[in-house]
């Protein structure tokens, strides 16, 4: 009998991620499925919960609402700052990404979403925040996690 996906199993799967318009946002490589430790918070909650009880060979379509994906878009994470904060960067353009330290000391990625003279509009939301995500998934392997994987909190 095949092992079912549950807490502390290691799961490998192929996926295609599309947005509401059907545009492909991401997909696994043909020879490199995504592998994660189930129950360790390694993938978004909505996808992880949809995989519970599935097994090798299962194929499914999963729709994940923003609150179970990358969260809602928060307007307080979008702000306009002075070009002076980008010391040493000559040509700042929309779409560029930078790492910044958040007030709590964590590193976060910020994206430039607008440039107007010396005013730069940045967005610290995840690029997929506020998006409803559509996954097509094929599970390629489910196995028991090794002790070291459980200790480290991720698949090896």
Work out the burial of residue 48: count CB atoms within 10 Å of its CB; fewer than 13 is exposed, 13-18 middle, 19 or more buried: buried
Residues 39 and 88 in one domain: no
CB 44 within 8 A of CB 17: no
Per mean pLDDT, which range of 46-50, 89-93, 102-106 is the poorest? 102-106
Residue with the two structure tokens 């599309």: 18
Each residue of 28-62: pLDDT tens digit?
Answer: 998 999 999 999 999 999 999 999 999 999 999 99
Given a cut of 90, is residue 25 above it in pLDDT? Answer: yes
Mean pLDDT for the stretch of residues 72-93 = 92
Residues 13 and 43 in one domain: yes
CB 124 within 8 A of CB 77: yes
Residues 51 and 15 in one domain: yes
For the chain, give the mean pLDDT. 94
CB 127 within 8 A of CB 15: no
Q: Within a domain: residue 31?
A: yes
Mean pLDDT for the stretch of residues 64-79 = 95
β-pair type (119-123, 78-82) = antiparallel
Q: Within a domain: residue 98?
A: yes
Domain hosting 103: range is 75-123
CATH number at residue 111: 2.40.10.330
Residues 81 and 108 in one domain: yes
Q: Within a domain: residue 2?
A: no
Other Cβ atoms within 10 Å of 147 Cβ, number: 8
Rounded Cα–Cα distance for residues 79 and 113 (Å): 10
Residues 108 and 147 in one domain: no
Q: Which pLDDT score is estimated for 12? A: 97
Split into its structural domains, the chain has a count of: 2
Task: Please give the share of the chain, as a percent, with pLDDT higher than 70.
Answer: 99
């Amino acid at each position: 009998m095949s092992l079912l996906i549950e807490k502390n199993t290691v799961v490998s799967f192929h996926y295609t991620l599309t947005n509401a318009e059907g545009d492909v946002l991401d997909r696994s490589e043909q020879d490199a499925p995504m592998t994660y430790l189930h129950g360790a918070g390694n993938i978004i909650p909505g996808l992880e919960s949809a995989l519970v009880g599935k097994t090798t060979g299962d194929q499914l379509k999963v729709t994940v609402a923003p609150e179970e994906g990358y969260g809602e878009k928060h307007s307080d994470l979008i702000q306009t700052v002075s070009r002076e904060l980008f010391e040493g960067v000559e040509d700042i353009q929309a779409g560029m990404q930078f790492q910044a330290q958040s007030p709590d000391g964590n590193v976060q990625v910020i994206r430039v979403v607008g440039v107007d003279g010396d005013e730069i509009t940045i967005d610290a939301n995840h690029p997929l925040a506020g998006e409803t995500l559509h996954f097509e998934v094929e599970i390629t392997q489910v196995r028991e996690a090794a002790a070291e994987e459980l200790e480290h909190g991720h698949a090896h």
